Amino acid sequence: MRGAGPPPYPTGAARAVRRLLLVLCLASIAGPGRPAFAAAAPDTRIRVGSKDFAESRLLGEVFAQAIEASGAQVERRFGLAGSDLALRALVAGDIDVYPEYTGTGLVTLLHEPAEKDPGRVLDRVRAAFAAQFDALWLEPLGFENGWVLAVPRTLARADGLTTISDLARFAPRLRGLFSPEFVAREDGLVGLARTYHLALGDVRSAGQSVKYQAIATGGADVIDAYSTDGRLDALELQPLADDQRFFPPYQAVPLVRADLAKRAPGAVAALLSLGGRIDAARMRAGNAAVEAGGEPVETVAARMLAQAGLAGSATPAPRNHDSLLADAWSRRGMLLRATGRHLLLTLAGLVAAVAIGLPLGVVAVRPRGTVLLTAAGVLQTIPGLALFALLVPLLGIGALPAIIALFLYALLPIVRGVAAGLGSVDPAVIDAAEGIGFTPRQVFLRVRLPLAVPVLMSGIRTAAVISVGNATLAAFVGAGGLGEPILTGLTLNDGRLILEGAVPAALLAIGVDALLGSVERVIAPRFG
């Protein structure tokens, strides 16, 4: 565990007065205009975001249900890939609120040195975010969720590990498996290794659920975890004390756009009502129910609100754990919508790639056209999630960056297919066509293009299958699709949810390829 813990919270009338004053202050910061509590109808689309780990998703659902109970409509945009992306989405207006942690705000987002006092950290991020991002930190929820290093209890007992300093003595023979964000952050492994002279024998990166699976099966010796993670006890892991107090305090707080108080004061009041209502034990129990108990996030969020004495919105019936098919059938509406969204994203990127890739392929077949193939090949070397994330600062989150990324990834097989098809035509056939009086245009349309169709279509079919697979990454930038249940399943360690997204995506890829195969059989003879 880390940090000195959150400061005491006001109760009763004092807390109510404080919240009322904060709402009024937020409304004034949001800008001039109609008073925050005017009778005009509130914004009916409050976009609630979360990052891509279980607690963030659970808190996002708590926020969403609390806002829905206030009468506003909520759009959930969960699973954003990291703090930087979530903040960009907030600043751009793609989301209105998401759960963030004060230490993350100070060190990772503001790039300032760590501070040990929770109150001073909160004051600093409040001032800086209001000035730089027009974003506001509301009331702390009542718990800290700091990073900890965790090892199996058997290893802790064998080597006498109780602190990170103890771990440093045995580090060269231990294998570390950490989240990518933890490895890269100054308040993560970078600063931790410097402070404790921690030099592990092997350091690798993996997602949250994969880390726990690996350490449970002996594939890793030490992982990064969160102090409120319910799986620490379930997997018999020992958190190591931060004896040099390296980690800053990480109070959980709703981070909102400043204009939300003006647009939807009821939503802000609902979020303020959560202040001090969720302690570490309640959060840990909620995480355990989702991650180890397999309960739906919606059900656990509603229960947490009820335990805090607050109302939540209606929740769906519990999922059917007896049958995978029955479970999928009960969620068929969501799966159909996700499949339709996935197909639209794929087709939009593919159609654009075909429209541009075909003429580029014609150019690429010329002697100096190889530069186009090289450029398209370079695009393929960019990791998929990285390309999606790089487009977010320019285009925001949602469908547009996903479509652009899918378009870029589909270019290479299409351009290469066109160039290879046109280049494979026997020169003797071309000479014969020219010998009987065909013009260059006729040679292209009636000889080279028909003969190139099989290779050309193979490039388009390859691009289509690749696009269906890459479209699952769209969930990381809030674009939805079949990547959403996959991402949720990875976050919550739920294999059923992963299959609910992976199986339809595989079937969709097969179906799209078969459809394009039929198109090829129809158009190939007509070119002759």
Q: Yes or no: say if 55 and 141 are a contact pair by the CB < 8 Å rule.
A: no
pLDDT at 5 over 50: no
Q: Yes or no: say if 38 and 67 are a contact pair by the CB < 8 Å rule.
A: no
**Average per-residue pLDDT for the chain:** 83
Q: Yes or no: say if 463 and 379 are a contact pair by the CB < 8 Å rule.
A: no
**333 and 454 housed in the same domain:** yes
Dihedral angle, C-alpha 228, 234, 240, 241, nearest 10 °: 40
Local structure of 79: helix, strand or coil: strand
Local structure of 309: helix, strand or coil: coil
pLDDT at 30 over 60: no
Residue 346 tokens read as: 């794929």
Dihedral angle, C-alpha 423, 424, 428, 429, nearest 10 °: -100
In a domain, 3, yes or no: no
Angle, vertex CA 473, rays to CA 468 and CA 478, nearest 5: 120
The rounded distance, in Å, linking the Cα atoms of 364 and 381 is 19
Is residue 504 within a helix (H) or strand (E), and if so which, with residue range? helix 495-527
Which pLDDT score, from 0 to 100, does residue 163 have? 95
In a domain, 30, yes or no: yes
**523 and 510 housed in the same domain:** yes
Domain final residue, candidates 189, 216, 240: 240
CATH code at position 259: 3.40.190.10
Q: Yes or no: say if 276 and 141 are a contact pair by the CB < 8 Å rule.
A: yes
Which pLDDT score, from 0 to 100, does residue 524 have? 64
Residue 406 tokens read as: 């899918």
Is residue 21 within a helix (H) or strand (E), and if so which, with residue range? helix 12-29
In a domain, 319, yes or no: no
Residue 345 tokens read as: 């994203």
**381 and 521 housed in the same domain:** yes
User: CB 256: neighbour CB atoms within 10 A?
Assistant: 28
Which pLDDT score, from 0 to 100, does residue 160 have? 94
Taking only the tens place, the pLDDT of each residue in 446-460 is 888 888 888 989 999
For residue 412, give the DSSP letter: H
The rounded distance, in Å, linking the Cα atoms of 131 and 96 is 17
The rounded distance, in Å, linking the Cα atoms of 353 and 415 is 9
Which pLDDT score, from 0 to 100, does residue 322 have? 53
Which pLDDT score, from 0 to 100, does residue 203 have? 93
Could you identify the residue written with the tokens 């950290």? Answer: 121
Residues in the chain, overall count: 528
CA-based nearest residue to 28, from 132, 130, 119, 141: 130
Average confidence (pLDDT) over 355-382: 82
The rounded distance, in Å, linking the Cα atoms of 197 and 23 is 46
**363 and 491 housed in the same domain:** yes
**102 and 153 housed in the same domain:** no
Angle, vertex CA 258, rays to CA 256 and CA 261, nearest 5: 90
Which pLDDT score, from 0 to 100, does residue 473 have? 86
**91 and 163 housed in the same domain:** no
In a domain, 492, yes or no: yes
User: CB 59: neighbour CB atoms within 10 A?
Assistant: 28
The rounded distance, in Å, linking the Cα atoms of 30 and 256 is 11
Could you identify the residue written with the tokens 């996935």? Answer: 342
Q: Yes or no: say if 274 and 185 are a contact pair by the CB < 8 Å rule.
A: no
Local structure of 341: helix, strand or coil: helix
Domain final residue, candidates 240, 263, 284: 240
Which pLDDT score, from 0 to 100, does residue 396 have? 74
Q: Output Rg (C-alpha) for the chain, integer angstroms.
A: 27
Which pLDDT score, from 0 to 100, does residue 447 have? 84
Axis-axis angle for helices 265-272, 12-29 (nearest 10): 140
Which pLDDT score, from 0 to 100, does residue 21 have? 43
**32 and 103 housed in the same domain:** yes
The secondary structure of 177-243, three-state, reads: EECHHHHHCHHHHHHHHHHHCCCCCEEEECCHHHHHHHHHCCCCCEEEEECCCCHHHHCCEEEEECC
Dihedral angle, C-alpha 368, 373, 378, 384, nearest 10 °: 160
* pLDDT grade for 129, boundaries at 50, 70 and 90: very high
Taking only the tens place, the pLDDT of each residue in 36-76 is 333 334 446 899 999 988 899 999 999 999 999 998 999 99
In a domain, 156, yes or no: yes
pLDDT at 35 over 60: no
In a domain, 318, yes or no: no
Domain final residue, candidates 181, 205, 240: 240
**338 and 442 housed in the same domain:** yes
Residue 377 tokens read as: 């090949």
The rounded distance, in Å, linking the Cα atoms of 36 and 284 is 35
Which pLDDT score, from 0 to 100, does residue 52 have? 83
Q: Domain span at residue 412?
A: 329-527
Q: Residue 274: phi, psi to the nearest 5?
A: -80, -15
333 compared with 241, residue with greater pLDDT: 241
The rounded distance, in Å, linking the Cα atoms of 467 and 159 is 49
Residue 27 tokens read as: 């409304």
**410 and 479 housed in the same domain:** yes
**199 and 82 housed in the same domain:** no
Local structure of 481: helix, strand or coil: coil
Provide the number of structural domains found in the chain. 3
13-22, 88-97, 338-347: least confidently modelled range = 13-22
**200 and 346 housed in the same domain:** no
In a domain, 417, yes or no: yes
List CB contacts of 393: < 8 A, sequence separation 6 or more.
88
Taking only the tens place, the pLDDT of each residue in 135-180 is 999 999 999 988 899 999 999 999 999 999 999 999 999 999 998 8
**420 and 339 housed in the same domain:** yes
User: CB 258: neighbour CB atoms within 10 A?
Assistant: 18
The rounded distance, in Å, linking the Cα atoms of 257 and 91 is 7
CATH code at position 439: 1.10.3720.10
471 compared with 479, residue with greater pLDDT: 471
Does pTM surpass 0.75? no
In a domain, 259, yes or no: yes
